[in-house]
Amino acid sequence: MQTKNPNETVCILTRNNQLVLSEIMLLEAAINYTVFSLSTGKKVVASSTLKRFEEEFPKNHFLRINKSMILNKAFIKRIDKNKVVLKNERIVAVSRRRLPFVLANF
């Protein structure tokens, strides 16, 4: 899936869930599954790894910040040192190795 439109609907491999890319706030690894946290507060679990979604989702909208999490840039409120504050006030850590990349691409 090569997409550049953040409003494009994507079909996730579980219970025929269809998600709009712009509503996906973050993706979190859970062993061989990925948990999607949506802007509506809903969570959807997909039976694919985080790496698969990292390769398929548009890199200009999604940013891998550590080993187990990918964020939608639209939901980043600010970056404080090595932590990202999301618009819903959730705080997530950025790995030291990825911090320069995150700062350069935010």
Q: Do residues 26 and 71 lie in contact, with contact meaning Cβ atoms separated by under 8 Å?
A: yes
Decide yes or no: CATH 2.40.50.1020 for domain 9-105: yes
Q: Using one digit for the tens of pLDDT, what is the confidence trace for 37-90?
A: 999 999 999 989 999 999 989 989 999 999 999 999 999 999 988 999 999 999
As given in the structure block, the two tokens for residue 69 are 């999490």
How do the domains of the chain map onto residue ranges?
A: 9-105
Rama region for 51: left / alpha / beta (φ>0; ψ in -120 to 50; rest): alpha
* Predicted confidence band of residue 16 (pLDDT cuts 50, 70, 90): low
Can you tell me the distance from the alpha carbon of 52 to that of 89, in angstroms, rounded to the nearest whole number?
Answer: 27
State in Å, rounded, how far the first CA of the chain is from the last one.
23
pTM of the model: 0.84
Phi–psi pair at 31, nearest 5 degrees: 55, -115
